[in-house]
Structure 1
């Protein structure tokens, strides 16, 4: 039995299995599709059919949400124009609040002040998160290249 409150959904094992299978099947179908839209069809009890077309990107998001729900992961959905506090933004980025504030003051991430408090747009935070990921990847690639050049992988 599934229990739902405004802030939490508790799934039975059977429901979690169904969501996991649905996520897996949706992902597999979308991986092989080059369609511009996907039709969802519902058959009513009276035999009537309802059809709606959605972009594949929408179903990819839904597939990820179903997978997270099935594995009981916590997730939060924010519109891109949502303003975040420094604590919320630090949590999204996986960094400490003081580290984030130092980045804000260095001008690496846009923000505005509301009184004494800083606010950032979710879109800007996500863009910065991608920049952080790319910087980390580049640094790791450089370390691997340096190690290879000095024979670090030779046995």
Structure 2
């Protein structure tokens, strides 16, 4: 799988509006938190109606995708077991490749070698990204607490 050359979908204004409406309607359908499944109904030009039922989690994901498409936002869908290069992983994490390699060598993130090249699984990247966010929030909370203790917010 190559994530560096995704297929680009260009929408007309009418298509973008339709997707935005579909996303909004899906969001409203998901306001029923105890529903075990949600029905999607399609009526073709001949008046034939087809119906499919999906779990709310599927509809939630589809709603987010439609909303991003309606706003012409770029997004990439990557299966969690996909292996990425260090360059791709660094881009997802928002860090430099040398920093990522230092974290790999320190054992902070699992990887495997293919010849001389490192490969990192997407689910491991996501776990590491979450850990980075938790650590960042903790450090900021500690900084705020320290600043409050020394009167940094007193005017």
Q: Distance in 1 between matches of 2:142 and 2:47?
A: 61
Partner of 1:93: 93
Partner of 1:75: 75
Q: CA deviation at 1:66?
A: 1.3
When residues 34 and 147 of structure 1 are mapped into structure 2, their CA distance, relative to the original with a 3 A threshold, is farther
User: Residue 29 of structure 2 contacts residue 38 of structure 2 at CA under 8 Å; is this kept in 1?
Assistant: no
Q: Distance in 2 between matches of 1:139 and 1:51?
A: 50
Name the TM-score, length of structure 2 as normaliser.
Answer: 0.87
Comparing both chains, which one has the higher relative contact order based on Cα–Cα distances under 8 Å and sequence gaps of 6 or more?
2
Over the aligned positions, Cα root-mean-square deviation in angstroms equals: 1.7
Q: Secondary structure at the match of 1:113?
A: strand
Q: Secondary structure at the match of 2:65?
A: helix
| Superposed CA offset, 1:33-83 (max 9, x none) | 331211111223333322211111111111111121122221111111111
**Deviates further, 45-54 or 89-98:** 45-54
Partner of 1:36: 36
When residues 55 and 112 of structure 1 are mapped into structure 2, their CA distance, relative to the original with a 3 A threshold, is same
Partner of 1:3: none
User: Residue 86 of structure 2 contacts residue 119 of structure 2 at CA under 8 Å; is this kept in 1?
Assistant: yes
When residues 83 and 8 of structure 1 are mapped into structure 2, their CA distance, relative to the original with a 3 A threshold, is same
User: Residue 16 of structure 2 contacts residue 69 of structure 2 at CA under 8 Å; is this kept in 1?
Assistant: yes
Q: Secondary structure at the match of 1:41?
A: strand
Q: Which structure 2 residue ranges, 5 or more long, are not aligned? A: 1-5
Q: Distance in 2 between matches of 1:20 and 1:145?
A: 42
Q: Which structure 1 residue ranges, 5 or more long, are not aligned? A: 1-5
Q: CA deviation at 1:150?
A: 2.4
Q: CA deviation at 1:32?
A: 4.2
